[in-house]
């Protein structure tokens, strides 16, 4: 049983294993992503119910462009399908959508849906659902440093600006431009892989990690609650002592 008073404020998920799920069933990879999208839909709902404040999902990485054109266009078609079928309900549930990453380069129809989701949900105050899309953490940090440099040159930041951790945090995708998202308390990766894969490198300095062998399309609210329970049994010290 999970303690409702100590639910992680921010959960981030690496939704891995869609391809293997499809392969096991002799289905095309996109069928795995479709099943993954359905799993994601459930996890968004249960996150709201549990009182998680931020849910961040790794939907498409800067490295995912190496996949076949078919698979890439399939993922973006699913994104369109997800927004078209879910946006009303997300909005009714007071969910606020944010995008982390440079989504300007994805197919136009997908950009339109994302912008519609951002606009429709911008005043909502419930769960914040952050979708990492064309996201890579090293690129995010490089972008932050370049933007600090630019703002110093343009006089937006003082000439003698000292770069601090707080300043870098502000310039990340999770920073000011997206309302200063707190660092993730819990990072989940499915499918038995135990890597961060260029996800939230800066932000995960003190995150707890929970891994499960379950492939993402098979990930259920019950498994989610089990991992939250694992998290609640951890002893977080942030480098200090009890």
List residues near ligand FPP by CB under 6 A.
15-20, 33, 36-37, 40, 59, 64, 75, 78-79, 82, 131, 191
Phi, psi of 133 (to 5 degrees): -135, 130
**Tokens representing residue 81 in the block:** 């399908």
Show the beta-strand stretches assigned E in the chain: 10-14, 54-61, 96-100, 128-135, 186-189, 208-211
Q: Which residues are catalytic?
A: 16, 64
Instruction: Name the residue nearer to ligand FPP (CB basis): 174 or 191.
Output: 191
Q: How far apart are CA 242 and CA 235, in angstroms?
A: 9
We find the least distance from the C-beta atom of residue 19 to ligand FPP, in angstroms, to be 2
Taking CA atoms, 234 is separated from 7, 19, 54, 185, 231, in Å, by: 13, 31, 20, 11, 5
We find the least distance from the C-beta atom of residue 144 to ligand FPP, in angstroms, to be 24
Instruction: Name the residue nearer to ligand FPP (CB basis): 27 or 145.
Output: 27
β-strand partners of 208? 186
We find the least distance from the C-beta atom of residue 70 to ligand FPP, in angstroms, to be 13
Phi, psi of 217 (to 5 degrees): -60, -20
**Tokens representing residue 234 in the block:** 């951890």
Within 10 A of 128 (CB to CB), how many other CB atoms are there?
21
Distance of CA 10 to the CA centre of its chain: 10
Instruction: Name the residue nearer to ligand FPP (CB basis): 20 or 143.
Output: 20
We find the least distance from the C-beta atom of residue 193 to ligand FPP, in angstroms, to be 7
Instruction: Name the residue nearer to ligand FPP (CB basis): 8 or 19.
Output: 19
**Residue number with the shortest CB distance to ligand FPP?**
19
Nearest to 37 by CA among 125, 131, 109: 131
């Amino acid at each position: 049983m999970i303690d409702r008073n100590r639910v992680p404020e921010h959960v981030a998920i690496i939704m891995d294993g869609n391809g293997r799920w499809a392969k096991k069933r002799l289905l095309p990879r996109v069928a795995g992503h479709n099943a993954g999208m359905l799993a994601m839909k459930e996890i968004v709902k249960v996150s709201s119910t549990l009182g998680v404040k931020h849910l961040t999902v790794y939907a498409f990485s800067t490295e995912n462009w190496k996949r076949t054109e078919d698979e890439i266009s399939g993922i973006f078609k699913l994104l369109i399908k997800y927004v078209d079928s879910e946006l009303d309900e997300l909005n009714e549930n007071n969910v606020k959508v944010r995008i982390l990453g440079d989504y300007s380069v994805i197919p136009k129809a997908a950009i339109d849906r994302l912008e519609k989701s951002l606009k429709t949900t911008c005043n909502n105050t419930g769960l914040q659902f952050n979708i990492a899309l064309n996201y890579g953490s090293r690129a995010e940090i490089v972008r932050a440093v370049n933007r600090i440099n630019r703002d110093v040159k343009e006089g937006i930041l003082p000439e003698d600006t000292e770069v601090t951790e707080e300043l870098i945090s502000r310039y990340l995708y999770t920073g000011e431009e997206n309302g200063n998202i707190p660092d993730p308390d819990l990072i989940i990766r499915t499918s038995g892989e135990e890597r961060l894969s260029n996800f939230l490198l800066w932000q995960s300095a003190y995150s707890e990690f929970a891994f499960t062998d379950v492939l993402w399309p098979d990930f259920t609210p019950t498994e989610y609650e089990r991992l939250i329970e694992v998290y609640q049994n951890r002893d977080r010290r942030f480098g200090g002592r009890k």
